[in-house]
Each structure stands twice: as structure tokens, then as C-alpha cells.
Structure 1
């Protein structure tokens, strides 16, 4: 390593949490202070852990040794997931041509409704795949495409890529006391079939 100025990165799990610069001179020593700065709001509910991995989700334990299309994989869905159920029934990845959409069912109390934010964290994407949501009768705007990576995505046996955060502001009056339905759809300007269709890998889903 040549002496110079470097950026050090702090990770929580595999989630980038903070950075700081440090200058190092030949034969010298240097110190720096790294602090976790990742946004972690108090949530009403969450699916998974915001740690930069899909650990605990459906098929996450197999993806590094089995192709997504392999019969040994559990069925990808499409999945209808009830908030409060085990994260192991929530898909680690969502493919436009395979298990789209993922539907969330949530029974809200009157104190939990109002203007809220749904945050979807992803660890990688393929062919411009990113989420768009519909909450009851309201549909969010379409987020911009993630940075393209020259890779076949999750089909190469890994979920590692460029972590992304998608925050969807749910307007007041959208959520209701009682049963709410949230659909997460893969959108993309690109096409593909089956497991090479636009897709993304989940890190976590949080409502706050």
C-alpha cells in the first residue's frame, strides 16, 4: 500500500454503515474515528434484518450452491406473506417472470395508520429490476433504475452486488385500520425470461 489518503468503510454485517478519511505517511501512524451512520428508524414492522444480506429468507440458504431453477429450491411463489409470519417464507429474490408480485397482508390498528414510509433494501439487481409498490388502491411512482452491473445477477450463485434503498412515502389516508394489502412488483425497462428476467434480491422490508 502506497502512503496517501484513504477512505475507510464501516460495515454492519455486509451493510455499509459509515465512512471516514485517513491520511497515512511513510513510516508513520494514523488514527481515525468511524461511526455507524446508517439510517435505522424505529419501525412498525420489519421483514428480515437490515444487514446487507438476504439471510433468513426463503431459499437464501441454498442460493450459493443451487441454481434458482433447481428442483431442490423451495417454490419461489408468487408469495402472499402475512406480517408477523416467519421471514423464512418470504422470498430472498423476486423475478419478474417467476414470482411477481410479492403480496403483503397486514392488519393495522388505528394508531398505526397515517402517512408512513415503506423502505425496501436490496443487495443486488439484474436487468434494471427494482421495486414499485401498490398499497390498497394507491400505487407509488416508479423509482429510477439502479446502477447497472455487468453480471447475470443471482443466477451466478451469489446475492452480493450494489446495496440499494428504496423509500416509498405512503400518503395519509391510504392505510386503513384493519386489513391492508401491499403489493411489491418488479419493474424494468428491460426484458428477459424466467430467472434471467429483471429481478432483485431483498435485504429487508420495513414500515415506519
Structure 2
């Protein structure tokens, strides 16, 4: 059972997040908070496995709370995926950064990924990251191309769509496959490329696939 804390200063949002997460039989919401300071205290007191924090909260914002959570994986949930927030999130190595317009399944995936020691960013956030990082030199492109050579043509096609910021469902529609099949492809691609998340793979694709 994954023990989760939810922190958001809007009670209706908190209730909705709880409903979504507890629809998964492997997730239990054990604590809630309406501000960042209380979130830190309750997360540590309840020894949670994952903390889902709103970005903008009283007392202490979500990203500032990350520094005080003593290694607890944090998923940032926000209505705003603007560039400075993404930069701060990446710098502080949050486990997930998800927009509030995500699907219930995406939020559950983010929490499960965080618990597994992986990173999860919404497809929209992946697009922002790609826009933030400028193209690199020829040597890096050659290195990326060599790493990508282990992929099959279909895997390379799926990776290119990941790099475009598409979700698994959108990729499935594009290549006429089920979302479950695409999930399998994504896992295989990350394993082959030794990447821990979609953003790392997408950056490789941009450098190596052109």
C-alpha cells in the first residue's frame, strides 16, 4: 500500500485528489494539509511514501517544501506549467510535475512512479522542457544517435512522438495501437536507452533523431 499525503489550500481540490487516488486499491491517503508548513509536519509524522503538493500554498509553497521533506518523493500538482516553475522543479529533483488538467489515470501513474523511484512529467511539461533546452553540439548529437541505434523502427517512431509531447493515449491513436501497448513500448524504450523518464528520452530523441 502506497501511503500518500495531499496538500492543497482548496478543500474541494483536496477532496477530488483523494477520490482519484483512492480509486486505486494500492494507494491510501493517510494525511491532508492546507498549507506547506503543515504538509511537511504531517508528511514526516505519518511517514508517507509520496507527497502530492500544490505548487502555490500559504506558509510554504510546494517546491520550497520539497527541501524539508527528508527524501520523501514529491509530486507537484499545479494549474500552471510555466517555465520558471518547471525549472525550479527540475533543479530540486521533484519526482513528478503534473498539471491539474491531467486525467485521473495520469495522476495515479505519477504517484506510482514516484513511489518506484522514477520521475514523471506531464506530456505538456515535457514540451516545456524541450523548449527550454537549446540544441547542443555535434558530438552530443552523434552520441545520442549511437544510443538510439538500439531501437527498432517502431520504437523510434514511438520515441519521436514522445518527443513531440504526446501522451500514451495520443500516441496510440496516431499509430493505431492500444494505450496499453504504447505503455509497454515506452517502458521498453526507457529500459533500452537507460533513461529514468520520458523527458530524458525525449531529449535524446531531439538530439539523435533530429
TM-score tier after normalising by the smaller chain length: under 0.3
More strand by share: 1
More helix by share: 2
| TM-score, L = length of structure 1 | 0.25
Q: Higher relative contact order at CA 8 Å, sep ≥6: structure 1 or structure 2?
A: 1
Rg (Cα) greater in structure: 1
| TM-score, L = length of structure 2 | 0.24
